[in-house]
Structure 1
Amino acid sequence: MKKNTKLVSSGRKSEYTQGVVNPVVQRASTVVFESVAQMHQAIKERSHRTLFYGRRGTTTHFALQDAIMELENGAGCALYPSGAAAISQSLLSLLEAGDHILMVDTVYEPTRDFCDKILTRYGIETSYYDPMIGAGIESLIKSNTKVLFLESPGSITMEVQDVPELVRVAKSHGLVTVLDNTWGNGWQYRPLEHGVDISIQAATKYIVGHSDVMMGVAVANERYWPQLREHSYLLGQCTSADDAYLALRGLRTMPARLKQHEQSALQVAKWLAEHPLVDHVRHPAFTTCPGHEFFKRDFDGSNGLFSFVMKEGSQKAVNRFLDALEHFKMGFSWGGYESLVTANVTMAGLRSVTGWDHGPIIRLHIGLEDVDDLIEDLDNALSIYESNL
């Protein structure tokens, strides 16, 4: 099947749908068994596709896991109550005291905090690396390095990594490779096809698509799926059947939404690139974005999330800009139908080995509003920004 057909059809086995279009919402904590033999069989079943206990999941969860597993071409999918939980629990399933992890310097801030504030307490060392290091990553690998963590594009500054090259070096040293694929969403980028072992997403974003569910997913290849599955289960990770249903519903329309997000974002980004106050645009589809050549080579398209960099500006001017926006709401998520904005005057504390010698960086998520309204909104806010320089 081609991609659109596959996404519509996946996770819709008759045992999940029970005669209707969508998988039913099966809520459960306790599962009852008709015999001792049936109970023992459920205990021995390790695929997480048999009813056993609510924490393992119900048919609603199984349907979502099947659909995302097919989306990212993996051997299995684990569900978590948030994207941050998917990252932290995946790493805990792979690491132990004395291990060393190589973490991309442009990583999502909560991932950095988890490494610096939690993993250190368990004797796990983290080293940060330049996202554009490529084959040079080999010089940073230690005898106790266990995991290479990637995020491409990088959080806020949008650097696109040379994933196949990084994976090649990592595998030659026996490292596990993990990639935060929330931006790539499984539709526009599939890390496992590029050799990555585990692909993680905050399903909160484009999979759900309506800013009303917290959820994380991790898809693993055959080698690491049993380990990820068992350790996540032991760590008590689970989601509600209602949230799984909403994620399934969002998944069906994701390609159509992404197409509109992409088209609108490119229009806005092109307008910003010509604005006299803008130094450059950080959009993977633009040549001004570091790693643009890897985006062209590896991705099937872009979405609504990108950043742009101001030529100059103070915190006061940035605050005036943010307060002047009407259609762009201020918030820390993205991936929904609405447009959002966040800003950083400095990247201090968010980078360890890569500097930031540019002006303020503004991150936008372009929603499904009319593009002309969004551009007018930005134009007005930029005028107010200029008057406060």
Structure 2
Amino acid sequence: MKTPACTLTSRPDLPASLETALVHLGRDSAAASHAVNPPLVRASTLLFPTLADFKASNGGCVFESPRYGRSGTSTQFELQQAMARLSGAESCIATPSGLSAIAAVLGAHARPGGLILLQEGVYGPTRALCEQVLAPLQCRVETFCSAEDLAGKLTAASFLVFIEVPGSLTMQMVDVGAVCALAAAQGVPVACDATWGTPLFFDAHRHGVDIAIHAATKYLNGHSDVMLGLTTGSYAALEATRSGCDRTGSHVSADACWLALRGLRTLHLRMPRHHTSALQVAQWLSLQPQIERVLFPALPTDPGHALWQRYFTGAPGPFTVELAPCSEPAFTRFIESLQWFGLGTSWGGFESLVMPAIPHHLRGLPVQPDAGRLLRLHIGLESPDDLCRDLAAALPLLQGGAG
């Protein structure tokens, strides 16, 4: 695992070390209360000492300056500033969830007759939003599977290219640099769901991404107790998204932002541990007879490994495995026998998780086919040896009969 570089440049007095930056960013308001942590400021009404100050508040950047509770307080502002700095971006917008951030970006670029180009294998709700909300509004949505495929689909009617690295469930890698170069040549912005890598492992903007979207619900918070989305980019790239969030009242609570600031303090400790543990478990699983293949770009055997090496400095916990053909009852026994893996959606917290990974085209089936069955594992902060022993005890159950 390579050591991630810090791209913080706007304050020359800030230490170059990312580890130090994570500890100290977003704490400016703490000094007034003589506290280590910044105060949690909840407010719906904000007061101004003079009429001139009140009028001036409407000229500030919405979501970055005091105006009204919906725009935020110092708590939201400090998280957004910290995330922008960590991402090497000018600006950040906090929203109530990762999906709300995705919806805000897609909605800001959707036009009747316009074209949004969506990478195959993106997060299921992202594709559902495009197909069930944007398409009925006469926004065209087409999918692509590679940079070469994208090259033949970019047109003058294209308003946005949306990618996710790696793709949800399939863990498919796309050539980020090539996609961004193609889009830039046509003047089309690229938005990327960059949740998996976080700014620690994936420097999205340096590789050409205009808008980076993070479900801070996951690694950035890291404690499985917050719903939060963070979107970074230049002021120009986020102008339409910011305006859309203001019009629709897409605002996040101060409590969620305060908790996320807490999570950032240990990001540089948690992510390398997720990386080493996930790699150990994935390598062990790849040798088991009940496993057909492990879909994890950090493995040299993965078809996306070279692209992962080019664009990432590490690989965190979630990955997908394809099981040898097994019945639904055997699959159920396997899942329910696991001791250290909780059965639940999401990932990025301290705990390990397991869930059936159902591709988009199979979502409507009541029972999944025995062959090609996928399973997603999130490797948490437990001992990887314990996790392997847990899986070793459960895997033989996949070979049992239907009874």
TM-score normalised to structure 1 length: 0.94
1:257 CA displacement: 0.9
Q: Deviations over 1:9-42 (max 9, x none)?
A: 2222247764322111010000112221110100
C-alpha contact (below 8 Å) 2:83/2:92 kept by paired residues: yes
C-alpha contact (below 8 Å) 1:25/1:242 kept by paired residues: yes
- Are residues 1:157 and 2:170 paired? yes
- Are residues 1:106 and 2:129 paired? no
Q: Greater shift after overlay, 221-230 or 161-170? A: 221-230
The amino acid of 1:306's aligned partner reads F
- Are residues 1:306 and 2:327 paired? no
Alpha-carbon distance in structure 2 between the residues aligned to 1:78 and 1:346: 30
1:349 CA displacement: 4.1
Q: Deviations over 1:325-355 (max 9, x none)?
A: 121111111011111011146653469xxxx
Q: Greater shift after overlay, 324-333 or 41-50? A: 41-50
- Are residues 1:89 and 2:137 paired? no
Alpha-carbon distance in structure 2 between the residues aligned to 1:127 and 1:281: 28
Mapping of residues 117-128 of structure 1, within 5 Å: 117-128=132-143
Give the corresponding residue for 1:31.
46
C-alpha contact (below 8 Å) 1:16/1:24 kept by paired residues: no
- Are residues 1:247 and 2:260 paired? yes
The SS at the match of 1:186 is helix
- Are residues 1:71 and 2:80 paired? no
C-alpha contact (below 8 Å) 2:22/2:266 kept by paired residues: no
Evaluate the alpha carbon distance shift between residue 345 and residue 379 of structure 1 in structure 2; reply closer, same or farther with a 3 A threshold: farther
The amino acid of 1:152's aligned partner reads V
1:93 CA displacement: 1.6
Matched length = 383
C-alpha contact (below 8 Å) 1:148/1:175 kept by paired residues: yes
What residue ranges of structure 1 are gaps of 5+ in the alignment? none
The amino acid of 1:244's aligned partner reads C
Q: Deviations over 1:173-211 (max 9, x none)?
A: 111100000101111102111111100011000011111
C-alpha contact (below 8 Å) 1:158/1:290 kept by paired residues: no
1:94 CA displacement: 2.1
1:266 CA displacement: 1.1
The amino acid of 2:288's aligned partner reads H
Give the corresponding residue for 1:171.
184
RMSD value, Cα? 2.0
C-alpha contact (below 8 Å) 2:166/2:174 kept by paired residues: yes
Q: Which of 303, 307, 318 is the matching residue for 1:290?
A: 303
Give the corresponding residue for 1:19.
34
Give the corresponding residue for 2:13.
none
C-alpha contact (below 8 Å) 1:261/1:304 kept by paired residues: yes
The SS at the match of 1:200 is strand
Alpha-carbon distance in structure 2 between the residues aligned to 1:345 and 1:324: 20
The amino acid of 2:132's aligned partner reads K
- Are residues 1:201 and 2:214 paired? yes
C-alpha contact (below 8 Å) 2:162/2:192 kept by paired residues: yes
1:358 CA displacement: 6.5
Alpha-carbon distance in structure 2 between the residues aligned to 1:221 and 1:331: 35
Alpha-carbon distance in structure 1 between the residues aligned to 2:182 and 2:278: 34
Q: Greater shift after overlay, 24-33 or 220-229? A: 220-229
Give the corresponding residue for 2:67.
52
Q: Which of 289, 292, 297 is the matching residue for 1:279?
A: 292
1:298 CA displacement: 1.2
C-alpha contact (below 8 Å) 2:29/2:39 kept by paired residues: no
Give the corresponding residue for 1:134.
147
The amino acid of 2:97's aligned partner reads S
What residue ranges of structure 2 are gaps of 5+ in the alignment? 1-15
Evaluate the alpha carbon distance shift between residue 115 and residue 251 of structure 1 in structure 2; reply closer, same or farther with a 3 A threshold: same
The SS at the match of 1:379 is helix
Give the corresponding residue for 1:213.
226
The amino acid of 2:344's aligned partner reads G
Evaluate the alpha carbon distance shift between residue 211 and residue 17 of structure 1 in structure 2; reply closer, same or farther with a 3 A threshold: farther
Alpha-carbon distance in structure 2 between the residues aligned to 1:334 and 1:387: 29
1:50 CA displacement: 2.2
Evaluate the alpha carbon distance shift between residue 216 and residue 129 of structure 1 in structure 2; reply closer, same or farther with a 3 A threshold: same
The amino acid of 1:111's aligned partner reads T
1:115 CA displacement: 0.5
C-alpha contact (below 8 Å) 2:221/2:260 kept by paired residues: yes
Q: Which of 254, 270, 273 is the matching residue for 1:260?
A: 273
Q: Deviations over 1:227-285 (max 9, x none)?
A: 32222222211111111110000011011111111111111111101101111111111
C-alpha contact (below 8 Å) 2:327/2:370 kept by paired residues: no
Evaluate the alpha carbon distance shift between residue 10 and residue 358 of structure 1 in structure 2; reply closer, same or farther with a 3 A threshold: farther
The SS at the match of 1:348 is helix
Alpha-carbon distance in structure 1 between the residues aligned to 2:123 and 2:358: 17
Q: Greater shift after overlay, 177-186 or 13-22? A: 13-22
- Are residues 1:61 and 2:76 paired? yes
The amino acid of 1:129's aligned partner reads F
Alpha-carbon distance in structure 1 between the residues aligned to 2:125 and 2:360: 15
C-alpha contact (below 8 Å) 1:95/1:146 kept by paired residues: yes
The amino acid of 2:18's aligned partner reads K
Q: Deviations over 1:141-161 (max 9, x none)?
A: 233111100000010111111
C-alpha contact (below 8 Å) 2:22/2:267 kept by paired residues: no
Alpha-carbon distance in structure 2 between the residues aligned to 1:341 and 1:357: 18
- Are residues 1:146 and 2:159 paired? yes
Give the corresponding residue for 2:341.
328
Alpha-carbon distance in structure 1 between the residues aligned to 2:300 and 2:147: 18
1:121 CA displacement: 2.5
